[in-house]
């Protein structure tokens, strides 16, 4: 097999591959920076919880309208935001910390989702909701993902400063401004929005993979925030493209293939990453004079 056949021909020959490529590109642009902030705010598992939380919304949409893009999107969005805001309100208004209240909300939400899915629909439909169909992305889905990414990038630019400051020094932020709470809610909404965009391509369970794995991988290469975000986008897109090719050549399911490639990149980074990877720790270079 020539490099052309291995790397380019699948995209040249098949429209569904091109659509999938554009889809993962758009997803990578939004998911990359969100993943970096989730990681830096020690909320890596929050994305995972949120991805479970949107299931009943998507399932409700599915129950009402079948495999309908708009219904499942709106359902996922509404329930995801309810869980995010509900958990945030419980955390701020009561003694319970945010992680515990989020765990409570998403578990209830997940159980509800499975009950709803099994009320109608065969196992095949459930698989579709859980694992997505990146190779079956149509124009409407592509537009939806692109729109979500656009909104995400603009919103991130708006809340960038409070977001950074809320991570580094929350007491200082609240001493100079009251935008901290609002920017936190806006950030969580963006996470939900991107997970909903991602679940059409990767499914509810794996959408979060394109957020967290590239972010964690980038941490082993960069100590600067801007660089981290750019790298996370790049790694997410690279994993998407490579995952599609793996899926094409070996007939593996596309969503999990993408996440596995991202996982491979993560594994290599853990071992060989220059910024705190295992090898750089075990075999350090000679120290400097000053």
Partner 1 sequence: MAPLISFENLTLGYERHPAVHHLTGEVREGTLLAICGPNGAGKSTLLKGITGVLAPLGGHIVRHGFDVHDIAYLPQGAEVDRSFPIDVYDLVSMGLWRRAGLFGGIGRADRARIAAALAEVGLEGFERRPIGTLSGGQLQRVLFARLVLQDARLILLDEPFTALDATTMTELLELVRRWHREGRTVLAVLHDFDLVRAVFPETLLLARRAVAWGPTAEALSPEKLKDAQHMGLAWRDDAAPCETAA
Chain contacts with partner 1 (rule: CB under 8 A): 40, 158-159, 161-162, 164-165, 167-172, 174-179, 222-225, 228
The least CB distance from residue 288 to partner 1, in Å, is 13
Q: Whose Cβ is closer to partner 1: residue 136's or residue 170's?
A: 170
Q: Whose Cβ is closer to partner 1: residue 111's or residue 227's?
A: 227
What percent helix, strand, coil does the chain show, rounded to 5?
A: 80, 0, 20
Q: Whose Cβ is closer to partner 1: residue 40's or residue 104's?
A: 40
Q: Whose Cβ is closer to partner 1: residue 9's or residue 44's?
A: 44
Confirm if 97 and 168 have CB atoms less than 8 A apart: no
H-helix segments, 41-178: 44-53, 55-65, 69-93, 98-119, 123-131, 139-168, 170-176
Contact residues for 257 (Cβ-Cβ < 8 A; gap 6+) = 243, 244, 246, 247, 250
For the record, the structure tokens of 98 come out as 């945010």
Q: Whose Cβ is closer to partner 1: residue 78's or residue 164's?
A: 164
The least CB distance from residue 50 to partner 1, in Å, is 22
The least CB distance from residue 11 to partner 1, in Å, is 35
Give the span between the Cα atoms of 269 and 267, in whole angstroms.
5
The least CB distance from residue 233 to partner 1, in Å, is 16
Q: Whose Cβ is closer to partner 1: residue 1's or residue 154's?
A: 154
The least CB distance from residue 42 to partner 1, in Å, is 9
The least CB distance from residue 114 to partner 1, in Å, is 37
Give the span between the Cα atoms of 201 and 51, in whole angstroms.
13
Contact residues for 204 (Cβ-Cβ < 8 A; gap 6+) = 51, 52, 54, 55, 58, 76, 129, 130, 132, 195
Confirm if 101 and 90 have CB atoms less than 8 A apart: yes
Q: Whose Cβ is closer to partner 1: residue 12's or residue 158's?
A: 158
**Residue 133 phi, psi (nearest 5):** -145, 80
The least CB distance from residue 160 to partner 1, in Å, is 8
């Amino acid at each position: 097999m020539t490099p052309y056949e291995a790397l380019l021909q699948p995209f040249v020959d098949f429209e569904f591959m091109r659509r999938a490529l554009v889809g993962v590109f758009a997803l990578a642009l939004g998911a990359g920076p969100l993943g970096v902030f989730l990681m830096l705010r020690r909320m890596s598992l929050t994305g995972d919880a949120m991805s479970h939380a949107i299931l009943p919304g998507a399932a409700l949409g599915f129950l009402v309208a079948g495999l309908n893009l708009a219904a499942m999107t709106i359902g996922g969005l509404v329930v995801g935001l309810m869980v995010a805001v509900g958990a945030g309100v419980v955390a701020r208004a009561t003694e319970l910390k945010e992680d515990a209240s989020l765990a409570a909300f998403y578990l209830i939400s997940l159980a509800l989702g499975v009950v709803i899915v099994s009320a109608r629909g065969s196992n095949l439909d459930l698989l579709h909701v859980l694992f997505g169909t990146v190779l079956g992305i149509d124009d409407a889905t592509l537009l939806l993902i692109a729109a979500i990414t656009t909104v995400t990038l603009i919103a991130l630019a708006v809340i960038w400063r409070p977001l950074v400051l809320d991570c580094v020094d929350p007491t200082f932020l609240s001493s100079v401004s009251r935008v901290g709470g609002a920017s936190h809610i806006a950030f969580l909404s963006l996470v939900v929005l991107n997970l909903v965009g991602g679940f059409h391509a990767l499914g509810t369970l794996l959408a979060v993979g394109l957020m967290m794995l590239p972010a964690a991988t980038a941490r082993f290469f960069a100590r600067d925030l801007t660089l981290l975000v750019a790298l996370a986008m790049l790694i997410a897109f690279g994993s998407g493209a490579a995952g599609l090719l793996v899926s094409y050549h070996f007939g593996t399911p596309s969503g999990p293939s993408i996440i596995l490639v991202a996982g491979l990149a993560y594994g290599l980074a853990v071992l060989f990453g220059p910024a705190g990877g295992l090898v750089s720790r075990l075999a350090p270079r000679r120290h400097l004079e000053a």
